[in-house]
Chains A and B, each alone.
Chain A
Amino acid sequence: MERLPSVMSQNRVWYCLDCGKCSAVCPITRWETRQYTSPRLLVEKAVQGHPDEVLDDPLFWSCLTCKRCSELCPSGVYFSEFLRDARAMAQEKGQKGECSHSEVIQVWGRIMAHANPAQDRLGWIDGDLRVSHDSDVLYFVGCLPYYDALFKKIGCEGIEIARAAIRILNHLGIEPQVLADERCCGHDQLWEGDWETFQALARLNLEQIQASGAQQIVTTCPECARTLKLDYPRLVGGHPLRVFHLTEFLAQPGIGDRLNLKAEDMSPTVTYQDPCRLGRHLGVYDAPRQLMDRLGLHRIEMGRTGKASLCCGTSCWTQCGQVSKNIQVERLREAKATGAECLVTACVKCQIHFKCAQSDPALREELGIDIRDLTTLLAERLGDGTKAEPS
Chain B
Amino acid sequence: MTRGALILGGNPAGCQAALDLADAGIQVHLVESAPFLGQEDRFTLPSRWQHTRLLEVCKHPNITVWTQTHLSRVEGEAGRFRIELRQHPRYVDLSKCTACGDCLTVCPVTVPGTDRKAIHLVRDGQPGCAAIDKIGKAPCSNACPGGIHVQGYVALIAQGRFQEAIDLIREAIPLPGICGRICTHPCEVNCRRAEVDKAVAIRLLKRFVADLEPVPRQESPLPPPNGKRVAVVGAGPGGITVADRLARLGYRVTVFEKLPVIGGMMAVGIPTYRLPREVIAREYQQIQNRGVEIRLNTTIGAGGDHSLDDLFRMGYEAICLAIGAHRSHTLRIPGEELPGVVHGIELLKVINLSQQLDDPQYKATLERWLRRGAQTRVAVLGGGNTAMDVSRSLRRLGVQEVRILYRRTRNEMPAIPEEVEDAEQEGVQIEFLVSPVRVIGDAENGVAALECLRMKLGEPDASGRRRPVPIAGSEFRIDLDLVVLAIGQAPDLEQLGEGHGITVTREERIHVDGVRFMTTRPGVFAVGDAVTSDKMAVIEAIGMGKKAAAAIDAYLQGQPPHEVVVDAREVPIARRELTEEERVPKPRVPVPLLPMAQRLTSYAEVELGYTAEQAMAEAQRCLVCGPCSECLACVRACQPGAIVHEQPERLVDLEIGAILCAGDPARWGLPLAEGRGVYRLPPTELTTASAVAAQVMFDLLTERRPLPAPGPMISDREAARIGVFVCQCGGEIAGVVDTETVRRRVAAWPDVVDAQVLPFSCSPEAAEEIWRAVTANRLNRVVLAACSCCALDQICYSCTYQRVRCKANLGVFPDHPSRLMDMMPTTGKDRTPVLFEFVNIREQCAWVHADDPPAATAKATALLAAAIARARAPILKAPEKPTVDRSALILGGGEAALACRAALTGEGIAVRHLEEAPGQVRRSGGQYQVMAQDRLWQASALVLIPRDAEEQVHLLAAFDGNAPRLQPDPFGNGILTHRPGIFYCDPALDPATVGAAAAAQVAAWLGRQEMRSPLQTALVTPSRCRACATCVQVCEFGAPQLIGEDPHRTAWIDPAICVGCGTCAAHCPSGAITVPHMSDEHLEVMLEQVLGR
Q: List the interface of chain A (C-beta within 8 A of B).
A: 31, 33-34, 98-102, 320-326, 329, 356-357, 359-363
B1028 within 8 A of A: yes
Chain B min CB distance to A28 (Å): 12
* Docked-complex contact A320 and B1046, CB < 8 angstroms: no
Chain B min CB distance to A199 (Å): 24
* Docked-complex contact B1069 and A100, CB < 8 angstroms: yes
* Docked-complex contact B1024 and A356, CB < 8 angstroms: no
Given A356-B1028, A359-B1029, A361-B1029: A321 and B1046 within 8 A (CB)?
Answer: no
Chain B residues with Cβ below 8 Å from A362 are 961, 963, 1027, 1042, 1046, 1049
CA distance A321 to B1071 in the complex (A): 9
CA distance A323 to B1048 in the complex (A): 9
Chain B residues with Cβ below 8 Å from A359 are 1028-1030
Chain A residues with Cβ below 8 Å from B1021 are 321
Chain B residues with Cβ below 8 Å from A102 are 1066, 1071
CA distance A99 to B1069 in the complex (A): 9
Most buried by B among A31, A329, A359: A359
B587 within 8 A of A: no
Interface string of B796-834 (1 = CB under 8 A from A): 000000000000000000000000000000000000000
B1071's partner among A31, A99, A361, A363 (CB-CB below 8 A) is A99
* Docked-complex contact B961 and A322, CB < 8 angstroms: no
Chain B residues with Cβ below 8 Å from A31 are 1047
Given A34-B1023, A356-B1026: A321 and B1070 within 8 A (CB)?
Answer: yes
B1042's partner among A33, A356, A361 (CB-CB below 8 A) is A361
* Docked-complex contact A360 and B1069, CB < 8 angstroms: no
CA distance A362 to B965 in the complex (A): 10
B1026's partner among A33, A34, A99, A320 (CB-CB below 8 A) is A320
B52 within 8 A of A: no
CA distance A100 to B1025 in the complex (A): 11
Given A31-B1047, A360-B1042, A362-B1049: A322 and B1069 within 8 A (CB)?
Answer: no
Q: List 16 A-B contacts (CB under 8 A).
A: A31-B1047, A33-B1048, A34-B1023, A320-B1070, A322-B1026, A323-B1023, A326-B1046, A326-B1047, A356-B1069, A357-B1026, A359-B1029, A360-B963, A360-B1028, A360-B1049, A362-B1027, A363-B1046
Using A100-B1070, A321-B1072 as known contacts, list a sample of 13 further A-B pairs with CB atoms less than 8 Å apart, ordered by residue number in A. A98-B1070, A99-B1071, A100-B1071, A321-B1026, A322-B1027, A322-B1048, A323-B1023, A325-B1028, A357-B1026, A359-B1028, A360-B1027, A361-B965, A362-B1046
CA distance A362 to B1043 in the complex (A): 10
CA distance A19 to B559 in the complex (A): 104
Nearest B-chain residue to A30, judged by Cβ? B1047
Chain A residues with Cβ below 8 Å from B1026 are 320-322, 324-325, 356-357, 360
Chain B min CB distance to A366 (Å): 9
CA distance A362 to B1049 in the complex (A): 9
Chain A residues with Cβ below 8 Å from B1049 are 322, 325, 360, 362-363
A322's partner among B1023, B1029, B1066 (CB-CB below 8 A) is B1023
Within B1030-1073, which residues are at the interface with A (CB < 8 Å)?
1030, 1032, 1042, 1046-1050, 1066, 1069-1072
Chain A min CB distance to B52 (Å): 27
* Docked-complex contact B1024 and A329, CB < 8 angstroms: no
Chain A residues with Cβ below 8 Å from B1022 are 322
* Docked-complex contact B1071 and A322, CB < 8 angstroms: no
Chain B residues with Cβ below 8 Å from A323 are 1023
Interface range on chain B (Cβ under 8 Å from partner): 20 to 34
Nearest B-chain residue to A360, judged by Cβ? B1027
Chain A residues with Cβ below 8 Å from B1029 are 359-361
Chain A residues with Cβ below 8 Å from B1042 are 360-362
Chain B min CB distance to A383 (Å): 39
Nearest B-chain residue to A326, judged by Cβ? B1047
Given A357-B1026, A359-B1028, A360-B1028: A320 and B1069 within 8 A (CB)?
Answer: yes
Chain A min CB distance to B137 (Å): 62
Given A98-B1071, A101-B1069, A361-B963: A321 and B1047 within 8 A (CB)?
Answer: no
- Majority DSSP secondary structure for residues of B touching A: loop
Nearest B-chain residue to A333, judged by Cβ? B1046
Chain B residues with Cβ below 8 Å from A99 are 1071
Chain A residues with Cβ below 8 Å from B1023 are 34, 321-323
Interface string of B1011-1024 (1 = CB under 8 A from A): 00000000001111
Interface string of B502-538 (1 = CB under 8 A from A): 0000000000000000000000000000000000000
Chain A residues with Cβ below 8 Å from B963 are 360-362
B682 within 8 A of A: no
CA distance A23 to B1029 in the complex (A): 32
Chain B residues with Cβ below 8 Å from A320 are 1024, 1026, 1069-1070
B964 within 8 A of A: yes
Chain A min CB distance to B1049 (Å): 6
* Docked-complex contact A322 and B1025, CB < 8 angstroms: yes
Interface string of B570-589 (1 = CB under 8 A from A): 00000000000000000000
CA distance A378 to B1071 in the complex (A): 36
CA distance A99 to B961 in the complex (A): 29
Nearest A-chain residue to B1043, judged by Cβ? A362
CA distance A363 to B1049 in the complex (A): 10
Chain B residues with Cβ below 8 Å from A356 are 1026, 1028, 1069
CA distance A357 to B1029 in the complex (A): 10
Chain A min CB distance to B920 (Å): 12
Chain B residues with Cβ below 8 Å from A363 are 1046, 1049
Chain A min CB distance to B1040 (Å): 12
* Docked-complex contact A98 and B1047, CB < 8 angstroms: no
CA distance A100 to B1071 in the complex (A): 6
Given A99-B1071, A100-B1070: A329 and B1046 within 8 A (CB)?
Answer: yes
CA distance A359 to B1066 in the complex (A): 18
Nearest A-chain residue to B1067, judged by Cβ? A102
CA distance A356 to B1028 in the complex (A): 7
CA distance A362 to B1048 in the complex (A): 12
Nearest A-chain residue to B1028, judged by Cβ? A359
Given A99-B1071, A100-B1069, A100-B1070: A322 and B1028 within 8 A (CB)?
Answer: no
CA distance A33 to B1048 in the complex (A): 10
Chain B min CB distance to A326 (Å): 4
Chain A residues with Cβ below 8 Å from B1050 are 322
Nearest A-chain residue to B1050, judged by Cβ? A322
CA distance A375 to B1025 in the complex (A): 31
Chain B residues with Cβ below 8 Å from A325 are 1025-1028, 1049
Within B596-650, which residues are at the interface with A (CB < 8 Å)?
none
Within B942-963, which residues are at the interface with A (CB < 8 Å)?
961, 963
CA distance A156 to B1032 in the complex (A): 21
Nearest B-chain residue to A34, judged by Cβ? B1023
Chain B residues with Cβ below 8 Å from A361 are 963-965, 1029, 1032, 1042
CA distance A296 to B991 in the complex (A): 61
Chain A min CB distance to B181 (Å): 74
* Docked-complex contact A322 and B1046, CB < 8 angstroms: no
CA distance A324 to B1050 in the complex (A): 13
Chain A min CB distance to B865 (Å): 22
Chain A residues with Cβ below 8 Å from B965 are 361
Chain B min CB distance to A351 (Å): 15
Most buried by A among B1022, B1025, B1028, B1066: B1028
Nearest A-chain residue to B1021, judged by Cβ? A321
Chain B residues with Cβ below 8 Å from A326 are 1046-1047
Nearest B-chain residue to A58, judged by Cβ? B1023
Interface string of B405-430 (1 = CB under 8 A from A): 00000000000000000000000000
Nearest A-chain residue to B1045, judged by Cβ? A362
Chain A min CB distance to B345 (Å): 92
A98's partner among B964, B1024, B1066 (CB-CB below 8 A) is B1024
* Docked-complex contact A329 and B1047, CB < 8 angstroms: yes
Chain B min CB distance to A98 (Å): 6
Chain B min CB distance to A325 (Å): 4
Chain B residues with Cβ below 8 Å from A324 are 1026
